[in-house]
Amino acid sequence: MTDHDHAHDHSELGEMDLRVRALESVLTQKGYIDPAALDVLIDTYQTRIGPRNGARVVARAWVDPAFHDWLMADATAAIASLGYTGRQGEHMVAVANTDDQHHMVVCTLCSCYPWPVLGLPPTWYKSAPYRSRAVKDPRGVLADFGTTLPETTRIRVWDSTAEVRYLVIPQRPAGTEGWSEDELAALVSRDSMIGTRVVEAPSARSAA
């Protein structure tokens, strides 16, 4: 696991969160904002637009060996070549899952997260239980997400920081030979790019 002793760009500020919620309450009471519409907007950026960027990066890496090699060598530049740049995505590192090793990302002190490719961080990523257990018992955390790996698969936990943020490149599932990038990207979930889930084979997804 990487060191985590340097300064963080704290995404969780208790006092600021309270101020934002108070302001939201006032604006809601005055009729300036619609809470339901705000929830939809947040959900769109958290689960749709943001993670779709990362999914396209993964799909390109699956179909283009040269891009995969570039991504492994200089993730920031490779990701930027697809148009995904911005704050909290300046220094990216990509780590690829294999049969022998599985990667998972956590931020043990706050919630550093690659916004340009994954959108807004999920609530569980910022929670104290995930931040502590991901390091102490990564296999148990994976099981909580419904992910069971062979005992022979090593699990490496990467500690995201203000200086470096990680993107997990999940394994391409069997049965997707000849698929287009768009079809492949549709298989990739946000959680698989954090490393808490794997990308399921098409047959498994249809059966579910």
Annotated binding-site residue numbers = 107, 110-112
Question: Cα(first)–Cα(last) distance of the chain, in Å?
Answer: 34
Structure tokens of 11? 């995404």
- What is d(CA 138, CA 117) in angstroms, rounded to the nearest whole number? 23
Which residues are catalytic, by number?
A: 107, 110-112
Alpha helices in the chain (DSSP H): 14-29, 35-43, 50-63, 65-73, 75-80, 115-118, 123-126, 128-136, 138-144, 181-185, 190-194, 202-207
Residue ranges of the annotated binding site for Fe(3+) are: 107, 110-112
Residue with tokens 């990308």: 199
